[in-house]
């Protein structure tokens, strides 16, 4: 039986792109989702423990939805009885392979990579998932040095879930006393098979930083047991000791961060990835790039986050194709992804660029804003043509912009924790378009930002410290029409606050997992609301409920996920397909999975 035939008609043109002791990874075409995917198959004859580990990977990744963690689409058994995972397909190279081919990275190349690993691990920890095998070979880089890398954390096969299945009992592969993980990156408590928490991943992350900066792991014995013993008993050599001659200043600045991460006593490490991230960003902001002289353009430029979406064909040839996969609990379930959409052009993919601000040449730079471009694709938005990226830039340069009383059309940031001074500068620059993602916004910060009367578009993403009190301040923005609260942990009670907004025509509420149908219907009081996105929430509708809900809310566009599991629902899908002039595709393999996209506006939307 060929690999293609083992998966029925859904997964086609399987091509092996990697294999190991546990299984093989194939690149494949998903005929239902109409896209390239990676299919990870557990080799037959593996032990029960291997099967448990494989299943654990699916369950761990199913809890996570983050741009720096590889997405998983499906999990199950093929016709030969082999377990498989279907994951996001990535063209890329592992950090391990990059180091092997290019040697150790300097800090300025490594910073944006580590920043994204921090964010991904922090998200996993926040959702009760420990990775337990953080190492360079589980970090995937997609993109290139010039335009920046998108970074993905892979392989949650050793992950430990806190309170899996809601029973309050952690299920761990170490319950029998068996050590799992990679000894070169293993924390002392993991080597001793003790109880683990997020600080074990922080130790492994410290080992990863050390390897990336020096080319060698911090502790390495001649045998497996000797390496474990070193992690338990020996302190790692300093970073400076690995540099012949004079150690670069930026490496010396990182000594304390790495030393704290690698503390034998977990109580002396960073308490969380968030705490480590804040200190890491503060250190980066204080480090001048190489070859900078006072007053030069380089001296006013600090590090920015380079986020790269999809490498173009001209860039892909330099990368080994790496298929990586992670997660979804889709066994025995019939799912359909429905896009109710009216005449909306596809988003324009922009390129990433660093923002260089020289206070002495401010007026000239202000005139060149239209030349700046960037990509924040994981937030699901496309910024205007003219914008400024607020990151770890020189604070004095940003102050200079504000003091010049210059209006900047759009400001965006991702992963940079805003200070009070940053917020003051935003208000002074009077943007009409503002995207703040993972920026540490709380109620007090939001109250202040809502005094920016020029705002028309406000994308406040992955800000989970906002309460109903903060949301109420959004009503103070007189010109607000486009609002995103993606990933802000909203519940139905907080949705009642949003129901009081006036003038908002577009609302993105994706990744708010507590949001139910009741909360969605609170938006019925928002007059003029035309578009709502509730994908990856607890809003689940079936059949004719979709159209009824759209009409009740008075919407043109409704983006959501739904489940079909009755013959009547299948008939409804046929009706949708027949009414579509753009095409509706759905396929069937075992448990029926439908993908319904690009619905005809005349049937599921309005014609105006």
- Known catalytic residues are 133
What dihedral do alpha carbons 302, 303, 309, 310 form, nearest 10°?
100
CB 325 within 8 A of CB 87: yes
End-to-end CA distance of the chain: give it in Å, rounded.
52
What residues contact residue 317 under an 8 Å CB cut-off, 6+ apart?
A: none
CB atoms within 10 A of CB 256: 11
Helix (H, G, I), strand (E, B) or coil at 27: strand
CB 114 within 8 A of CB 120: no
What residues contact residue 586 under an 8 Å CB cut-off, 6+ apart?
A: 32, 336, 573, 577, 593, 594, 595, 596
What dihedral do alpha carbons 389, 398, 364, 406 form, nearest 10°?
90
What residues contact residue 91 under an 8 Å CB cut-off, 6+ apart?
A: 142, 311, 316, 319, 321, 322
Q: How many residues does this entry show for the chain? A: 608
**C-alpha–C-alpha distance, residues 391 and 257, integer Å:** 21
CB 88 within 8 A of CB 38: yes
CB 577 within 8 A of CB 336: no
Of 72, 45, 43, the C-alpha closest to 59 is 72
Q: Which helix (H) or strand (E) holds 12?
A: strand 11-19
**C-alpha–C-alpha distance, residues 120 and 153, integer Å:** 7
């Amino acid at each position: 039986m060929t690999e293609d035939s083992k998966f029925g008609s859904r997964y086609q043109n399987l091509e092996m792109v990697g294999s190991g002791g546990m299984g093989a990874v194939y690149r494949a075409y998903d005929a239902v989702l109409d896209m390239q995917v990676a299919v990870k198959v557990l080799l037959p004859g593996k032990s029960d423990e291997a099967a448990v580990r494989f299943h654990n990977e699916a369950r761990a990744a199913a809890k996570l939805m983050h741009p720096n963690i590889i997405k998983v689409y499906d999990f199950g058994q093929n016709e030969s009885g082999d377990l498989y995972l279907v994951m996001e397909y990535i063209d890329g190279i592992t950090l391990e392979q990059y180091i092997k081919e290019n040697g150790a990275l300097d800090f300025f190349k490594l910073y944006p990579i580590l920043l994204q690993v921090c964010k991904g691990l922090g998200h996993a920890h926040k959702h009760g998932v420990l990775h337990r095998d953080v190492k360079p070979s589980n970090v995937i880089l997609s993109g290139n040095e010039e335009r920046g890398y998108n970074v993905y954390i892979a392989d949650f096969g050793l992950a430990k879930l806190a309170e899996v299945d809601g029973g309050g009992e952690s299920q761990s592969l170490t319950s029998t006393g068996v050590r799992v993980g990679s000894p070169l990156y293993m924390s002392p408590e993991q080597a001793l098979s003790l109880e683990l928490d997020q600080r074990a991943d922080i130790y492994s992350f410290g080992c990863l930083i050390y390897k990336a900066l020096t080319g060698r792991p911090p502790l390495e014995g001649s045998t497996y047991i000797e390496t474990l013993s070193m992690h338990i008993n020996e302190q790692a050599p300093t970073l400076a000791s690995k540099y012949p001659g004079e150690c670069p200043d930026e490496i010396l600045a990182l000594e304390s961060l790495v030393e704290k991460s690698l503390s034998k006593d977990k109580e002396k490490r960073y308490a969380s990835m968030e705490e480590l991230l804040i200190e890491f960003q503060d250190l980066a902001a204080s480090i001048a790039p190489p070859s900078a002289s006072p007053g030069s353009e380089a001296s006013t430029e600090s590090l920015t986050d380079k986020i790269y979406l999809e490498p173009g064909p001209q860039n892909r040839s330099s990368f080994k194709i790496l298929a990586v996969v992670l997660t979804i609990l889709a066994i025995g379930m019939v799912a359909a992804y429905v896009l109710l959409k009216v005449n909306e052009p596809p988003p324009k993919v922009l390129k990433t660029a660093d923002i260089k601000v020289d206070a002495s040449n401010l007026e000239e730079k202000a005139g060149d804003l239209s030349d700046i471009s960037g990509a924040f694709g994981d937030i699901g938005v496309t910024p205007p043509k003219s914008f400024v990226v607020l990151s770890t830039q020189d604070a004095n340069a940003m102050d200079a912009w504000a003091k010049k009383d210059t209006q900047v059309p759009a400001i965006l940031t991702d992963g940079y924790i805003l200070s009070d001074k940053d917020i003051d500068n935003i208000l002074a620059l009077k943007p009409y378009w503002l995207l703040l993602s993972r920026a540490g916004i709380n109620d007090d910060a939001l109250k202040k930002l809502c005094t920016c009367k020029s705002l028309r578009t406000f994308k406040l993403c992955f800000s989970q410290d906002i309460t109903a009190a903060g949301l109420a301040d959004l009503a103070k923005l007189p010109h607000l029409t486009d609002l995103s609260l993606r990933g802000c942990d909203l519940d139905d009670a907080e949705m009642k606050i949003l129901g009081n907004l006036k003038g908002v025509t577009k609302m993105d509420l994706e990744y708010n997992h507590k949001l139910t149908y009741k909360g969605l219907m609170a938006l019925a009081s928002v007059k003029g609301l035309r578009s709502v996105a509730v994908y990856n929430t607890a809003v689940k509708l079936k059949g004719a409920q979709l159209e009824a809900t759209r009409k009740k809310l008075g919407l043109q566009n409704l983006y959501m996920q739904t489940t079909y599991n009755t013959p009547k629902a299948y008939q409804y899908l046929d009706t949708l397909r027949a009414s579509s002039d753009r095409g509706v595709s759905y396929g069937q393999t075992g448990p029926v999975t439908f993908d319904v996209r690009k619905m005809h506006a005349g049937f599921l939307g309005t014609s105006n």
